[in-house]
Amino acid sequence: MQVPARFEYEVATSVEGAISLLQRYGSETRLLAGGHSLIPMMKLRLASPEVLVDIHRLDKDLRYIRDDGGTLRIGALARHKDVLESELVKEHYTLLTDAETMIADPLVRNMGTVGGALANGDPAEDLPAAFVALGAEVVARGPDGERTIAVEDLYTGPYETVLEPVDIITELRCSRQPAGSAYFKVERRAGDYASAAIGVALNLADGKIEDVRIGMCGVGSTTLRARETEELLRGQRPGAELYGRAGERAAEESNPLEDARGTAPYKRDLVRVLVGRALEKAVERAEVV
Ligand SMILES: Cc1cc2nc3c(=O)[nH]c(=O)nc-3n(C[C@H](O)[C@H](O)[C@H](O)COP(=O)(O)OP(=O)(O)OC[C@H]3O[C@@H](n4cnc5c(N)ncnc54)[C@H](O)[C@@H]3O)c2cc1C
């Protein structure tokens, strides 16, 4: 039986209270949200925080999904299940619904939170890649107030972020509503993390692709944005030949490592294929808007 190292346990009753507890106990303190990443890591002794600050009772402040004048706002304690079932998300942010159908299983989706998925920094986590494609930002609150960080700037390495130990992610914001978007993933078996996954969000103008963004999951040491591929696509008429070239470029931009989910060449091949499929689906969806 795997057992975590000894730790102290505190329950926060407000966001400000959580920040005070983080300040009081110092850098060996971790927030506990759904616990679906942190607890397994503690059992494996990959993480041994001295103190856990449980924030799951902050639902009334941090569990929501709403439209605010065209900006999507998701509270950090919204569960995967909430995102999957949101009519707002289904209508305007289809790639999030695509991604959520493929994240883990109903048990994990009932407990796992958007804030936890973003803060964890696992490059194989799906939501960060989906949010990179959407151009979303996280709102982080600390003792000195609030700041926003683009999701693409959040990660500095595997399980490493620019967040300070005293920061709590309170919200995810997305002000861009793409006309078409899609998320494609290959997993070894249902509910597994991605061998590779691609999120695409775009708009069309005069039959040409504009305002395109691509997030890549599981094919680098952090979540990646395929900037060169986006550049190649901008201003071009969609079609199979373009999708093929985009897939090639994205495969070059990826930097996968061999692990239990596949070899590096296999993952690059997946990027090549998934970028084409995601583009085709996103364009198809944009054309019917
Ligand atoms: C069996 C299984 C299968 C899974 N499959 C997938 C999958 O296919 N795709 C996928 O993307 N994920 C998958 N996951 C991961 C899971 O969906 C997410 O990791 C989980 O939802 C993270 O959220 P959490 O609320 O459980 O975070 P926790 O485990 O509570 O926390 C994770 C980390 O984030 C920090 N944290 C949490 N909330 C905040 C906050 N508001 N502000 C700052 N820091 C915070 C914690 O301190 C901790 O370091 C799987 C998990 C399991 C157990």
DSSP assignment string, 254-275? -----BTTB-HHHHHHHHHHHH
Ligand 1 within 6 A of CB of 223: no
42-87 per-position pLDDT tens digit: 999 999 999 999 999 999 999 999 999 999 999 999 999 999 999 9
**231 and 278: one domain?**
yes
What is the CATH number for 27? Answer: 3.30.43.10
Nearest atom within ligand 1 for CA of residue 126:
11
pLDDT at 1: 66
**73 and 159: one domain?**
yes
Instruction: Read off φ and ψ for residue 234, nearest 5 degrees.
Output: -60, 130
Residues 126 and 102 sit within 8 Å (Cβ to Cβ): yes
- Find where tokens 């919200």 sit: 171
Nearest atom within ligand 1 for CA of residue 117:
22
Tell the residue nearest (CA) to atom 33 of ligand 1. 120
Other Cβ atoms less than 10 A from the Cβ of 78: the count is 22
Tokens matching residue 172? 């995810």
Tell the residue nearest (CA) to atom 10 of ligand 1. 125
Ligand 1 within 6 A of CB of 186: no
Q: Determine, yes or no, domain membership for 259.
A: yes
Q: Which residues contact 3 (CB under 8 A, 6 or more apart)?
A: 43
Ligand 1 within 6 A of CB of 18: no
**187 and 169: one domain?**
no
> Residue 183's closest CA among 86, 282, 103, 98?
98
Q: Determine, yes or no, domain membership for 3.
A: no
User: Residue 83's domain spans which residues?
Assistant: 62-174
pLDDT at 289: 67
When divided into structural domains, the chain yields a total of 3
**258 and 242: one domain?**
yes
Other Cβ atoms less than 10 A from the Cβ of 171: the count is 21
- Separation of 75 CA from ligand 1 center, angstroms? 15
- Separation of 115 CA from ligand 1 center, angstroms? 8
Domain end marker among 147, 174, 201: 174
**139 and 216: one domain?**
no
Instruction: Measure the CA–CA gap between 109 and 289, rounded to whole angstroms.
Output: 29
pLDDT at 54: 98
Nearest atom within ligand 1 for CA of residue 125:
11
Nearest atom within ligand 1 for CA of residue 112:
21
Task: Give all strands of the β-sheet with 224-225 in edge-to-edge order.
Answer: 180-187, 194-205, 208-217, 224-225
**166 and 217: one domain?**
no
- Separation of 280 CA from ligand 1 center, angstroms? 30
Domain end marker among 135, 150, 174: 174
Q: Determine, yes or no, domain membership for 2.
A: no
- Separation of 73 CA from ligand 1 center, angstroms? 19
Instruction: Measure the CA–CA gap between 128 and 141, rounded to whole angstroms.
Output: 19
pLDDT at 114: 98
**219 and 246: one domain?**
yes
Prediction pTM value: 0.97
What is the CATH number for 71? Answer: 3.30.465.10
Which parts of the chain have pLDDT scores under 50? none
pLDDT at 118: 98
pLDDT at 15: 97
| Best residue among 30, 38, 114, 127 to mutate for probing ligand 1, ranked by most atoms within 8 Å of CB | 38
Tokens matching residue 160? 């490493």
Ligand 1 within 6 A of CB of 75: no
